[in-house]
């Protein structure tokens, strides 16, 4: 699990601890776009393992970036949402996606499953 410290020398280091790595930004993007159930996230991000998805969701939840809502039903029904106090990340993820798409276009990089 990612460990969020009480003291950082740079806000970008904190940002990396919060949403850095291979998966967290993709998971957040999909949750924001409506893939807010575990099974939907697995389908939307087929190259992530079951265990890694669980781990990353728990880290995002423990840092309070996302909220896990358990409907207490059988079969299990859980949904994930971006925490209200961190909604400002939505346009940032869209801008990062746009930057990556523009970079790929200018550098002849092929992106399959382009996020728009």
DSSP collapsed to 3 states, 76-99: CCEEEEECHHHCCHHHHHHHHHHH
pTM of the predicted model, to two decimals?
0.89
Query: CATH fold of 22-105, please?
Result: Arc Repressor Mutant, subunit A (1.10.10)
11: its two tokens: 């806000």
d(Cα 60, Cα 48) in Å, to the nearest integer? 16
Residues 24 and 71: beta-carbon distance below 8 Å = no
Summarised one tens digit per residue, pLDDT across range 76-115 is 899 999 999 999 999 999 999 999 999 999 999 999 865 6
């Amino acid at each position: 699990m990612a460990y969020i410290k009480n003291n950082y020398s740079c806000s970008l280091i904190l940002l990396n601890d919060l949403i850095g790595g291979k998966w967290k930004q993709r998971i957040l993007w999909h949750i924001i776009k409506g893939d807010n159930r575990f099974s939907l996230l697995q389908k939307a991000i087929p190259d992530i393992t079951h265990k890694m998805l669980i781990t990353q969701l728990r880290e995002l939840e423990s840092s309070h970036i996302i909220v896990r809502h358990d409907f207490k039903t059988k079969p299990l029904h859980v949904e994930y949402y971006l925490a209200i106090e961190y909604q400002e990340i939505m346009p940032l993820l869209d801008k990062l996606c746009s930057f990556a798409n523009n970079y790929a276009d200018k550098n002849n990089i092929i992106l399959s499953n382009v996020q728009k």
